[in-house]
Chain A
Amino acid sequence: MITITDLRCAYGERTVLDIPNCTFAPGVHGIVGLNGAGKSTLLNALYGFGRNSEARVQWKGEDMNHRNTAFQEAENYFHPGITGREYLELFMSGKGASDVHVLNDLLEVPLDALITTYSTGMRRKLALLGALALSREVLLLDEPLNGLDLASVRVLEAIIRRLAERGRTVIVTSHVLGPLVALCDRIHLLQHGRFTRVFERGHTDGLEEALFAELDERTRAVVGEWGGDLSA
């Protein structure tokens, strides 16, 4: 169980995340929100970066950090001049790490080629394999579906579901609602840095409306005012 107490993150004077308290039980949790809602900031804070000093973010009573959590960031960077296999060797060299080569039979990353020759999707899959190799109890995935083909999305869903069955906690952010609804046990709606609603699996009616309500209202007002006049 992840417990969050008094978590606040700010960029300068602007507060971008404000979560007085929240818990995440083992299972798959989706975080949805528009751009700037604070999704990536939340995952970074859960991983131990950018928290306020009063914040308590714990997993089973211990501080959450890289020792008990794996994090696949939204942007993937790699050290130049190394191959995919060498990258995975690093992640599999630590204590308690697991061999993920068997998963690559499905994801088909060309491990013996230089990472600099990889496509965007291949890079994401390699970063995912690295995070999985660490074999941590908590897995944070920031926009893991970006750049993946449909086949890889299905494989990723199967992997995440398997981790949840084994009692792990997986937190996923995404802009794509469809796969997230199918995958998650709970979906948390994040708006302006606060959790505003939670949707349980099978009870996600109204999620899309809740996500876009504010945007739709603003869109109607702005587009109505604009009136489609391009001559100006």
Chain B
Amino acid sequence: MRAPSLPTVLLHLRWLQLRRAFPPYGLVLLALAVVFVLVLMFRAVHQDASHTAYIAGGTLLTVWGLHQRRPDLHFLHRHVPQARLALAMEYGALVLPVLLVLGLAGAWLAALVPSLVVALPWMPVVRTSSVRGSWLRRGIAPRLFEWRGLVQATHPLGLLMWLAALAFCWLPMLPLFLLGIIVLMAASTQEQCEPRAMLLATADDARSLLRTKVWGAVRLMTLVLMPVLVAATLFQPGWWWVHAGFGLGMLVLVAYAVVLKYANYRPNMRLEANGANVSVAALFAILPGLGVVPLVMLLTEWPKARQNLNACFHDHHH
């Protein structure tokens, strides 16, 4: 059967994936989250017109990064008719809400910058098999190998985003937005299950494995979040409670992603469905007053993770 040749094929595919990944209420929550972020953007632009440049540039940079690192690019070029046009449509749809915000705020000139994403499919993609961020990886403990994998998958885009968050820590929302993206990238790394040999080499039993992985993740994320949040609080002392709440929420979110992985652990599998749960948890983490929900989700999954890992460590014999 031939693949449909419409340039909207990728949009159709994304819609199907969304419907598979989320239950109907999840789609509604996701839509609400998008609207929430857009309202925040609109308010930021309205408050200070200089924010438009950061939002426009940041959007273009993010989509460029996605295009450079997307694993299915070769496949799409081989199997999808008019692949470049389909990619342009997909990127266009992705930045459309941002264009809408900038347009509503009257920043038409700045809106031209994210519009350039439709030209990205015609730009060259740099592919390399070299090891990325060697100096960063050296600071990560061997037992937290998935974080080394994260560096490989996101460097240097992740580092640039972190530097941007630090550089623009005097702005009210942008640093939190960028940190949120970094945390979601870190959480998505937890979808990939390691082989059984690596699991058993990490710890002697389920309890110490969970402790190693969760505390290791919390420690690393604290190192990522703290400098930006402390600097942001220095510029806006009145927001200390927002920064503290955000920081704690993000730490709980990463811990939840780790525990969720081990609650559903199957050797060598990629647990793509976990992404939907983490997205729901992320949504609750940023919604005011609902930050406790990810913590409840984390505590609910912890015993399941212990039980699942006990089977992997065959501790049921003891």
A residues whose Cβ falls under 8 Å from a Cβ of B: 48-49, 63, 65-67, 71-73, 76-83, 86-87, 89-94, 112-114, 116-117, 127, 130-131, 134
Contact = CB atoms under 8 A, between A and B. Distances in A.
B129 A79 contact: no
22 contacts: A48-B314, A49-B314, A63-B318, A66-B313, A67-B204, A73-B195, A73-B197, A76-B195, A77-B267, A79-B145, A79-B149, A80-B149, A80-B152, A80-B192, A81-B150, A82-B149, A90-B201, A90-B202, A93-B142, A93-B143, A116-B129, A117-B129
Contacts of A134: 201
A86 B145 contact: yes
Interface range, B side: 20 to 34
B268 interface: yes
Contacts of A81: 148-153
Interface string B302-318: 00000000000110011
Interface string B156-195: 0000000000000000000000000000000000001011
A127 B197 CA distance: 9
Contacts of A79: 145-146, 149, 192, 194-195, 198
A48 B129 CA distance: 37
Contact of B197 (A71, A83, A94, A116): A71
Contacts of B194: 79
A86 B317 contact: no
Given A79-B192, A81-B152, A86-B145, 4 more contacts: A77-B195, A87-B145, A90-B201, A130-B197
A101 B137 CA distance: 20
Interface in B92-149: 129-131, 137, 141-143, 145-146, 148-149
Contact of B198 (A49, A71, A78): A78
B317 A63 contact: yes
B200 interface: yes
B20 interface: no
B200 A82 contact: no
A114 to B, nearest CB: 6
